[in-house]
Amino acid sequence: MKRFIAPAALLLACSPSLADEGMWTFDNFPAQTVKAKYGVTIDQNWRDTVMAASAKLGAGCSSSIVSPNGLVLTNHHCVRSCIQANSTAVADYVQDGFLPAKREDEKRCPGMAVEILTSISDVTQVVNAATQGAAEYLKAREGAIAAIEKEACDSKEALRCQVTALYQGGQFKLYTYRRYSDVRLAFAPEKRIAFFGGDTDNFTFPRHTLDFALVRLYENDKPVKTPQHLRWSAANPAVNEIAFVSGNPASTSRLMTVSELEGLRDIILPNTLLTLSELRGTLTQFGTESPDHARQINNYLFGIENRFKAYRGRFDALLDPVMMARKRAAEADFKAKVKANTDLAASIGDPWAELEKVQTQRLALEKPYLWLEARAGYDSDLFEYARAIVRGTIEREKPEKERLREFSDARLEGLKSFLSRERVFYADLDRVLLTFWLSKLRENLTPGSQAATLFLGKESPESLAGKLMQSRLADPAYRKALWEGGRKAVDASDDPMIRLVLLTDAASRAARKTYEDQITAPTERAEEKIAKARFAIYGTSDYPDATQTPRLSYGAVEGWNEFGTEIASFTYLQGLYARATGKTPYVLSERWSMAEKKLRPGVVFNFTTSNDVTGGNSGSPVLNARREVIGVIFDGNAASLGGDYWYDGRRNRAIALSTAAITEALKTVYHQEALVKELMGK
Amino acid sequence: MKRFIAPAALLLACSPSLADEGMWTFDNFPAQTVKAKYGVTIDQNWRDTVMAASAKLGAGCSSSIVSPNGLVLTNHHCVRSCIQANSTAVADYVQDGFLPAKREDEKRCPGMAVEILTSISDVTQVVNAATQGAAEYLKAREGAIAAIEKEACDSKEALRCQVTALYQGGQFKLYTYRRYSDVRLAFAPEKRIAFFGGDTDNFTFPRHTLDFALVRLYENDKPVKTPQHLRWSAANPAVNEIAFVSGNPASTSRLMTVSELEGLRDIILPNTLLTLSELRGTLTQFGTESPDHARQINNYLFGIENRFKAYRGRFDALLDPVMMARKRAAEADFKAKVKANTDLAASIGDPWAELEKVQTQRLALEKPYLWLEARAGYDSDLFEYARAIVRGTIEREKPEKERLREFSDARLEGLKSFLSRERVFYADLDRVLLTFWLSKLRENLTPGSQAATLFLGKESPESLAGKLMQSRLADPAYRKALWEGGRKAVDASDDPMIRLVLLTDAASRAARKTYEDQITAPTERAEEKIAKARFAIYGTSDYPDATQTPRLSYGAVEGWNEFGTEIASFTYLQGLYARATGKTPYVLSERWSMAEKKLRPGVVFNFTTSNDVTGGNSGSPVLNARREVIGVIFDGNAASLGGDYWYDGRRNRAIALSTAAITEALKTVYHQEALVKELMGK
């Protein structure tokens, strides 16, 4: 199949969606565009089958049904908690993989559910009718949505009904899901190969990672019959063949204005990145100091590094002059269309100017907000406990609607149990985090500032952190006593961390209020106006921002050009052995080391596609035109991180594991003949 | 004296110099503007006296003559090496200050010279005549300049003659300096008060730092008679009074185009800052591990933090939308004027477009250049030795003009002695730096890249750094042997660091060549054209970029508004005691602790002025309209770091120590009656 190449000029055109852009809903897929561009027919039947064979998995993953007996393909990293939960002192499935000898040995994943979308219906008019003229808009909307959901599901346990706002509230759709709560682990490879390259290779390509696992749906202790499944391809994908991805992208912010993107590029992301990179250095060195420090830091540092890379990718994306020019052109086109519509223009005013003003205010407000409020304590457990106790005991005395939003009745319950629960406390790590926070507070707000003087008094960051370590808040009994004793107990406490929060909380709250009044609220107001105008002008010719609901994207199997260097779309099994250095994170299990000679070296291992995907698409099937699954998405390249803001057809690539490699591994490395037969439909 | 307030609109006007902007040469000072704006007459006599009483000090500082007996006022940090050199096991003048009982006890500063500018003459026509039509322009220019300098100084030892190119070569001026080589330390306070606030307070205000010292000029073992000195003011400065600063600003880049500034803001500074901040975290934590690590890291970390803050200040400056808009407007005005001049336009083409293209190329070329070449080894001594040896032994075999520029004949001599010299080697620090470099190389160039594979092979950054520590290059005898053995010895060496450099040097050289061809060379060519056009259009109505030569700036004693917070211009002696927490870097000496009650609390300690200053102005006198010295510059605020690119009258402030505070300290804390008398002219 030959792929049409879009002329370069098209990149700068102003229509909302371009190239292979878009996370389309199943009921509004641009089949005609696909037909025109690729000559491939995606009819109703094609879409219905794919929708019925696609599934949400767990909290934030995607998956697909790949056999008539309820077998589900997803990522290893999507079921890692299940593998962990089933491991014991004698059977470490994370380390060794999970290879049941027979179907009866498949093991239940505690708490895991899989949901398949069965129908979409438009309830926009019902919601709008209920909110029209309502005194309390939000309350009326919530009531209408709850009623629709209740009626549709009618307490059928196996269903879940959810009304989703698309186009920022331009449309309301009722999504009905068939829910499966008995999900069992059917196969998992060892973590070493499933996470080969580790965090080092995260968001990069070339890649050699077997990031898949198989689970199975059960009902009444029997595998679920799933006649509407996807066919399995054991063949290598072909360069430039069309590719579809079905999954549940979590969220995007593609309506952001140019000034909002500049605010991200110039203020928010640099502040975040500079803090994360310094903390990363601090913690990496901390981890080298002793096995105990390495253990304390392990998970936390992984999270910091992952966030650093994700934000760095977004920052780099925003530096692209071509994409920024395209965004500017699109915004100019949109504004011109709004201006041409006199009523619309009058009703929304100039939200773009409002957002521009907000970015200028950020220069003054971002740092106090970060260091006094949003990042205060920088993940120190002691600080988190103290603030929760000090604020919680004040807030809970107020009527619910006057409280800070994190102290709603529902969340107060969770907070109470959080405070009284026993948790591991890493004192050395906590001290490092406290020192870091206080030192960055002083630096960013300047040493002579009122705020720095308030927090530090006559102490240095190091000496104050040392004194705060005398806090008794690591003890759940003490936390419980303070929480139950309420304000009186808190005010009487001589705990140094409680005293610090009592001393500084007014300043922190003031920084937050200023930020919310001058940044958050005007941003939300302006964005709402822009979304409204956007839907009025472009309607459903555009795709809606991702909302954790099923979407279908189209693209092609292809590499990309990274600033002059061609990155090929494929890696092969043989490449794995060249990459395996024996040093973390490039270490093979014995099983894989032994298999080198037996594996066919030319099998495609990982590959990239131009599909528009984002977080939440992990585990999504990649389909060819014949509706066969040819891979499973497990990552995106660095440029895909800009997917939050836009789709860059030149460089944004999804990263998939090929079903060819899965088949080869199941056969040759794992000897799973029964599974292979089931997948191949024999 | 009342200060005229410039209307806000003026800020956006397009004339080259605005507000109190400008580091003017003594022979082209805008006296009429000052007269019109401030009503103050700065006549020839005023300027001559100030020029004769201003002096360059050491390598990069400024100073002033403040008595008829050769007494010179400068910063403590400008003479720290002298104080150190005169300290002994029993007399630690850094710790205790240097308070000679009588003039005969003043101590010589080894290697220190003070130079006073005595005349400026225009030699543009001579230089241009010599280069007109010359086959080798640079050689002809160098020859002409050398001849002018030689003739003017005529081997008089006490003179130094230097031809300086101003306006990027638009003008050539011969500067003749009277040189004093016998400079003696006359007074220095303790480092604790002279560097109170340490690096933490660097570039910030409010401030409480007694950063001054006094030296004296000698000839024939007698103090030099200096009738043209500045009068001393012991009174507090007044808010809004006019202020002049005379000094030697080192360098600025104020002709940078908008696209060059955007390249700095978006690519160069973020890359630099992210690396520095991670390394800063790493090293800060490293320093907490043991007294030995603290010692290893001490100076190096100080340098890293200082660079981080300097670059951060520049980055923040570039985010200012008002200044960027002003720059854009000025550039548009300039381009329009060029366009209107047909001949000029034809002769320079479109250098702005060339510079824009360069910034796009940076996206691809900056990271390989940094990690393979410019920052390779990241300050590891072992790597530095290995590269110098591997490259040096190759380069020295080539004709001089074919070599990399750092291997000229002159520099090869220095290199040879550098390699054979005994130097302290901190193995732990070197290992941390090597690990950091290799890990960032892999991350920034991506783990699967050719470059990462070449450098790391089958190693991880940690394991490779560990192996490289087996290198014998810390031993000067081994380095000497390799250097003397030449290429043959180097090629035969099994030293792991030598092997690494041999393996990777071609890749590093290639990254450098690409960068120099596609970034450095086109930038220089375009900047030269722009400078030429600029001088053709604006001539000397503008001030030239700083060139380490004497300049005079005018401004006023005033604070500023930092994003809505008013920062007062003054701190007072009483503020010092509020700030002295007893924790580093806010610790007082016993002498200062004891003096609290005796000092007049209302004496102005440090103050800010709107003078346009930059690095090299350290030690500059601040003068009032009556030509009295009222302070000594020792720093700038964070916004002053943007002074590299522009002068921002709203926020750019110089930070000075008042002569009122110096007088009070000399009297009350140090009991230096003789010095006080001398300064007061009694």
Distance from C-alpha of A94 to C-alpha of A84, rounded to nearest angstrom: 6
Distance from C-alpha of A14 to C-alpha of A332, rounded to nearest angstrom: 9
Please check whether residues A416 and A470 belong to one and the same domain.
yes
pLDDT of residue B5: 36
* Contacting residues for A413 by C-beta, under 8 A, at least 6 apart: none
Distance from C-alpha of A396 to C-alpha of A496, rounded to nearest angstrom: 23
Q: Is residue B14 pLDDT above 90, yes or no? A: no
| B130 occurs within a structural domain | no
Beta-carbon contacts below 8 Å between A and B = 122
pLDDT digits (tens, 9 = 90+) for A410-426: 899 999 999 999 999 99
CA of A448: which chain B residue's CA is closest? B206
Distance from C-alpha of B610 to C-alpha of B21, rounded to nearest angstrom: 9
CB burial of A434-469 (b: ≥16 within 10 Å; e: otherwise) equals bbbbbbbbbbbbbbbbebbbbbbeebbbebbbeebb
Distance from C-alpha of B130 to C-alpha of A494, rounded to nearest angstrom: 81
| B151 occurs within a structural domain | no
Q: Is residue B521 pLDDT above 70, yes or no? A: yes
Q: What is the CA radius of gyration of chain B?
A: 27
pLDDT of residue B2: 37
Q: Is residue A507 pLDDT above 70, yes or no? A: yes
pLDDT digits (tens, 9 = 90+) for B554-599: 999 999 999 889 999 999 999 999 999 999 999 999 999 999 999 9
pLDDT digits (tens, 9 = 90+) for B109-133: 999 999 999 999 999 999 999 988 8
Distance from C-alpha of A28 to C-alpha of A542, rounded to nearest angstrom: 9
Distance from C-alpha of B161 to C-alpha of A531, rounded to nearest angstrom: 68
Q: Is residue A182 pLDDT above 80, yes or no? A: yes
Kindly report the average pLDDT of chain A as a whole number. Answer: 94
pLDDT of residue A228: 95
Kindly report the average pLDDT of chain B as a whole number. Answer: 94
Q: Is residue B9 pLDDT above 80, yes or no? A: no
Distance from C-alpha of B313 to C-alpha of B277, rounded to nearest angstrom: 14
Please check whether residues B90 and B196 belong to one and the same domain.
yes
pLDDT digits (tens, 9 = 90+) for B336-367: 999 999 999 999 999 999 999 999 999 999 99
Nearest to B278 among A278, A286, A579 (CB): A278
CA-closest candidate to residue B451, choices B375, B508, B522: B508
CA of B563: which chain A residue's CA is closest? A364
Give Cα B547 to chain centroid, integer Å.
11
Give B510→chain A minimum CA distance, Å. 15
CA of B276: which chain A residue's CA is closest? A278
Distance from C-alpha of A632 to C-alpha of A77, rounded to nearest angstrom: 12
Cβ contact A319–B266 (<8 Å): yes
**3-class DSSP state for residue B200?**
helix
Nearest to B274 among A267, A277, A582 (CB): A277
Write down the residue that tokens 């490699």 correspond to: A661
CA-closest candidate to residue B373, choices B506, B546, B497, B493: B506
Q: Is residue A20 pLDDT above 90, yes or no? A: no
Please check whether residues A150 and A243 belong to one and the same domain.
no
| B6 occurs within a structural domain | no
Mean pLDDT of A201-229: 97
Please check whether residues B289 and B426 belong to one and the same domain.
yes
* Contacting residues for A522 by C-beta, under 8 A, at least 6 apart: A354, A355, A357, A358
CATH of the domain at B197: 2.40.10.120
Please give, one letter per residue, the 3-state secondary structure of A580-591: CCCCCCCCCCHH
Q: What is the dihedral of CA A438, A442, A443, A446, to 10 degrees?
A: 170
Share of chain B above pLDDT 90, in %: 91
Residues of A within 8 A of B448 (CB-CB) are: 201, 204-207, 579
A-interface mutation test, from B268, B271, B272, B278, most A Cβ less than 10 A away: B278
Q: Is residue B16 pLDDT above 70, yes or no? A: no
pLDDT of residue B637: 97
pLDDT digits (tens, 9 = 90+) for A67-92: 999 999 999 999 999 999 999 989 99
pLDDT digits (tens, 9 = 90+) for B428-478: 999 999 999 999 999 999 999 999 999 999 999 999 999 999 999 999 999
**3-class DSSP state for residue A179?**
strand
Stated pTM of the model: 0.92
Please check whether residues A52 and A197 belong to one and the same domain.
yes
Please check whether residues A57 and A39 belong to one and the same domain.
yes
Q: Is residue A682 pLDDT above 90, yes or no? A: no
Distance from C-alpha of B347 to C-alpha of B342, rounded to nearest angstrom: 9
Q: Would you say B229 and B66 are in contact if contact means Cβ atoms under 8 Å apart?
A: yes
Residues of A within 8 A of B518 (CB-CB) are: none
Work out the pLDDT band at A357, boundaries 50, 70, 90: very high
pLDDT digits (tens, 9 = 90+) for A48-69: 999 999 999 998 999 999 999 9
Q: Which of A146, A180, A214 is the last residue of a domain?
A: A180
Q: Would you say A52 and A228 are in contact if contact means Cβ atoms under 8 Å apart?
A: yes
Residues of A within 8 A of B275 (CB-CB) are: 277
Q: Is residue A5 pLDDT above 50, yes or no? A: no
**3-class DSSP state for residue B85?**
helix
CA of A363: which chain B residue's CA is closest? B563
CB count within 10 Å of CB A247 equals: 32
Q: Where are the alpha helices (DSSP H) in B493-623?
A: 496-515, 521-538, 573-579, 590-595
Q: Where in the sequence is the domain holding B432, given as residue range(s)? A: 258-533
Mean pLDDT of A585-608: 97
| B163 occurs within a structural domain | no
Distance from C-alpha of B646 to C-alpha of B661, rounded to nearest angstrom: 31
Cβ contact B458–A205 (<8 Å): no
Interstrand relation of B114-122 and B171-180 (parallel, antiparallel or unpaired): antiparallel
pLDDT of residue B386: 98
* Contacting residues for A655 by C-beta, under 8 A, at least 6 apart: A205, A207, A606, A607, A608, A633, A634, A635, A636, A637
pLDDT of residue A13: 36
pLDDT digits (tens, 9 = 90+) for A425-448: 999 999 999 999 999 999 999 999
* Contacting residues for B532 by C-beta, under 8 A, at least 6 apart: B168, B169, B170, B348
Cβ contact A563–B364 (<8 Å): yes
Interstrand relation of B628-636 and B231-232 (parallel, antiparallel or unpaired): parallel
B-interface mutation test, from A208, A292, A319, A518, most B Cβ less than 10 A away: A319
Cβ contact A204–B579 (<8 Å): no
pLDDT digits (tens, 9 = 90+) for A259-288: 999 999 999 999 999 999 999 999 999 999
Nearest to B360 among A197, A278, A321 (CB): A321
Q: Which of A503, A534, A565 is the last residue of a domain?
A: A534
Residues of B within 8 A of A564 (CB-CB) are: 364
CA of A270: which chain B residue's CA is closest? B270
Distance from C-alpha of A558 to C-alpha of A568, rounded to nearest angstrom: 7
Work out the pLDDT band at B682, boundaries 50, 70, 90: confident
User: In DSSP terms, which residues pair with A240 in a beta bridge?
Assistant: none
Please check whether residues A339 and A422 belong to one and the same domain.
yes
Nearest to B281 among A200, A282, A584 (CB): A282
Q: What domain count does chain B have? A: 2
Q: Which of A130, A155, A180 is the last residue of a domain?
A: A180
Distance from C-alpha of A212 to C-alpha of A79, rounded to nearest angstrom: 9
CA of A207: which chain B residue's CA is closest? B448
CB burial of A198-212 (b: ≥16 within 10 Å; e: otherwise) equals bebbbbbbbbbbbbb
Q: Would you say B219 and B641 are in contact if contact means Cβ atoms under 8 Å apart?
A: no
Please check whether residues A98 and A156 belong to one and the same domain.
no
Write down the residue that tokens 């933090």 correspond to: B305
CA of A208: which chain B residue's CA is closest? B448
CA-closest candidate to residue A203, choices A104, A311, A103, A295: A311
pLDDT of residue A154: 85
| A285 occurs within a structural domain | no
Share of chain A above pLDDT 70, in %: 97
- Lowest mean pLDDT segment, chosen from B135-139, B305-309, B341-345: B135-139
Residues of A within 8 A of B204 (CB-CB) are: 446-448
pLDDT of residue A19: 63
pLDDT of residue B1: 33
Interstrand relation of A54-57 and A61-65 (parallel, antiparallel or unpaired): antiparallel
Token duo for residue A676: 């292979």
pLDDT of residue B19: 63
Cβ contact A207–B267 (<8 Å): no
A-interface mutation test, from B196, B267, B277, B442, most A Cβ less than 10 A away: B277
Q: Is residue A529 pLDDT above 50, yes or no? A: yes
Please check whether residues B464 and B552 belong to one and the same domain.
no
Cβ contact B579–A284 (<8 Å): no
Distance from C-alpha of B297 to C-alpha of B291, rounded to nearest angstrom: 10
pLDDT digits (tens, 9 = 90+) for B192-209: 999 999 999 999 999 999
* Contacting residues for A12 by C-beta, under 8 A, at least 6 apart: A325, A326, A329
Please check whether residues A94 and A159 belong to one and the same domain.
no
**3-class DSSP state for residue B506?**
helix
CB count within 10 Å of CB B322 equals: 14
Cβ contact A448–B582 (<8 Å): no
Give A587→chain B minimum CA distance, Å. 11
Cβ contact A266–B447 (<8 Å): no
Mean pLDDT of B521-542: 93
| A267 occurs within a structural domain | no
Distance from C-alpha of B423 to C-alpha of A134, rounded to nearest angstrom: 80
pLDDT digits (tens, 9 = 90+) for B145-158: 999 999 999 878 89
Give B278→chain A minimum CA distance, Å. 4
**3-class DSSP state for residue B572?**
strand
| A281 occurs within a structural domain | no
- Lowest mean pLDDT segment, chosen from A87-101, A199-213, B9-23: B9-23
Per DSSP (E only), the strands in B98-241 are: 107-108, 114-122, 159-166, 171-180, 182-187, 213-219, 222-223, 231-232
Q: Where are the alpha helices (DSSP H) in A469-613?
A: 476-492, 496-515, 521-538, 573-579, 590-595
Give B2→chain A minimum CA distance, Å. 29
Q: How many helices (H) and strands (E) does chain A have?
A: 26, 20
Token duo for residue A356: 């521009």
Q: Would you say A160 and A179 are in contact if contact means Cβ atoms under 8 Å apart?
A: yes
Cβ contact B315–A281 (<8 Å): no
Q: Is residue A493 pLDDT above 80, yes or no? A: yes
- Lowest mean pLDDT segment, chosen from A9-23, A107-121, A510-524: A9-23
Interstrand relation of B565-567 and B570-572 (parallel, antiparallel or unpaired): unpaired
Cβ contact B278–A281 (<8 Å): yes
pLDDT of residue A194: 98
pLDDT of residue A16: 46
Q: Is residue A630 pLDDT above 90, yes or no? A: yes
Give B22→chain A minimum CA distance, Å. 27
Work out the pLDDT band at B8, boundaries 50, 70, 90: very low
Mean pLDDT of A335-364: 95
| A474 occurs within a structural domain | yes
Cβ contact B286–A285 (<8 Å): yes
pLDDT of residue A12: 36
Q: Is residue B215 pLDDT above 60, yes or no? A: yes
Q: Where are the alpha helices (DSSP H) in A178-250?
A: 191-194, 198-201
CA distances from B579 to B208, B306, B575, B583, B587 (A): 8, 22, 6, 10, 9
Give B285→chain A minimum CA distance, Å. 5
Residues of B within 8 A of A466 (CB-CB) are: none
pLDDT digits (tens, 9 = 90+) for B364-403: 999 999 999 999 999 999 999 999 999 999 999 999 989 9
Please check whether residues B510 and B555 belong to one and the same domain.
no
Give A514→chain B minimum CA distance, Å. 13
CA of B576: which chain A residue's CA is closest? A448
Q: What is the ipTM of this complex?
A: 0.91
Cβ contact B319–A266 (<8 Å): yes
Residues of A within 8 A of B274 (CB-CB) are: 273-274, 277, 312
**3-class DSSP state for residue A107?**
strand
Nearest to A459 among B270, B442, B583 (CB): B583
CA-closest candidate to residue B452, choices B387, B514, B372, B523: B372
Residues of A within 8 A of B581 (CB-CB) are: 456-460
Please check whether residues B616 and B502 belong to one and the same domain.
no
Write down the residue that tokens 């993953």 correspond to: A61
